[in-house]
Structure 1
Amino acid sequence: MTTVDETRPGRPLRADARRNRERVLAAARETFAEVGPDASLNAIARRAGVGPGTLYRHFPTRQALLGAVLADRVERLCARADQLIASDSPGGALSGWLRAFLDHAGSDHGLGGAALAEPADLGPDCHAMIREAAGRVLARAQRAGAARPDVTAADMMQLVVGVALATGGPAGDPAQPGRLLALVEDALRP
């Protein structure tokens, strides 16, 4: 994916600017995961090894940075679906993707809500991208007889989001999300 220089429309970023943007994005991803969406942007810039001006040149607002981190997480999740489809059995791919989706949903730390509170332009519809990835994995498992034919991708996603929400508290049993996901997997089998 070529990143465009927003100060000069239509022109790709120079290599050093692209590297700085990626460093800021990686630092933001890590910092938001640790602290949440209200993390200090100056701390993110320090972690990335760039000045605040560089951060703001690439992401002029907190919403722009939150949106970019969320879009990056969704792209990674969808790419994981394709990796699993290409390298695992249909049932194994479904199980692996459900675990990846649970990790995604459970590690949000309010990022999705913060990004959507004042919507930033995330580009493609992130929910649709996840639903399509879930649909690809599920359809392959259904064709192979590894998943019930009456389940939809939306059903499956709702169940996993429910597990993430129900077990997201800090005082909870750390093994509970895995146990509940195993019950969801059992329910998805024919």
Structure 2
Amino acid sequence: MQAGTAVDTRPTGRAPRPRADAVRNRERILAAAREMLVEQGAGAPLDEIARRAGVGNATLYRHFPDRAALVHHVVLYVMDRVTAHAEDSLAQEPDAFAALCRFTHAAADERVGALCPMLADDFDRDHPELLAARTTLEEAVETLVRAGQDAGLLRADIAVGDLLVALSQLSRPLPGFGCPDLDSFVHRHLQLFLDGLRAVPGRSQLPGAPVTLEDLRQHQAAKTM
């Protein structure tokens, strides 16, 4: 640099990109935390989560300063991954019903059902990040369901809420149920449910009405009043 040349020290407006090793550590912590929270609930020891992730306690706290922050980001992590499964399934499967099946089994492997009971009363379900992630997820799953119905492969008398509630219930471990190889039962029962969603031969009349996302929101709101 020549003498007298001015150096532009103004901020560029861009946040520094995290180092690759920091990104990997964060992913390992979130993956380990998801498994530990499923196994032991929201009280899973943070030092054990760090050990399973292969990082030190200081690294865990550098990314997530407390338990509430970790739980918050685990839920976001799972929601983002389930959304990606929905989008990838529709893009990679030529058959819309096969795409729905692929998504449902992949979402079950993300432990969505097992995480639901973990969310304590003090969990902030209305945090803006969570609301945005939920909207993105719902839109991706609605696109899957609509594609199956438009192709005539999926029953017309179901809605996305039916799928999401069944996925949550069927992938949730039974309390005190020491069943070996539980995952194989989860996927077996999910496939039985999915076969019932086929437009043919699924012609039996379902009780009640299709469950919409708005129905689920109103039900949740009524429970909290």
* TM-score, length-scaled by structure 2: 0.66
- Radius of gyration: which is bigger? 2
Change in 2 beyond 3 A, CA 1:170/1:132 = farther
User: Can you list the C-alpha shifts for 1:60-104, whole angstroms capped at 9, x where unaligned?
Assistant: 110111111111111111111112111212111111222233443
Counterpart for residue 181 of structure 1: 190
> Please, which of 60, 63, 69 is the counterpart of residue 65 of structure 2?
60
Q: Matches of 2:152 and 2:122 in 1, distance apart?
A: 41
> Please, which of 159, 163, 167 is the counterpart of residue 160 of structure 1?
167
> Please, which of 115, 132, 137 is the counterpart of residue 139 of structure 2?
132
* TM-score, length-scaled by structure 1: 0.76
Q: Matches of 2:60 and 2:35 in 1, distance apart?
A: 15
Root-mean-square deviation (CA, aligned residues, Å) is 2.9
Aligned residue pairs: how many?
A: 179
* Bigger helix share: 1
| Structure 1 residue 18 corresponds to structure 2 residue 26 | no
Alignment check: 8 A CA contact 2:50 2:57 kept: yes
Q: Match of 1:137, as an amino acid?
A: L
| Structure 1 residue 70 corresponds to structure 2 residue 75 | yes
Alignment check: 8 A CA contact 2:30 2:74 kept: yes
Q: Give 5+ residue unaligned stretches, structure 2.
A: 1-13, 200-225
How far did 1:142 drift? Answer: 1.1
| Structure 1 residue 145 corresponds to structure 2 residue 152 | yes
Superposed structure 1 runs of 4+ greater than 6 Å apart: none
Percent identity at matched positions? Answer: 35
How far did 1:170 drift? Answer: 4.2
Instruction: Say which is worse superposed, 71-80 or 26-35, in terms of deviation.
Output: 26-35
How far did 1:109 drift? Answer: 7.0
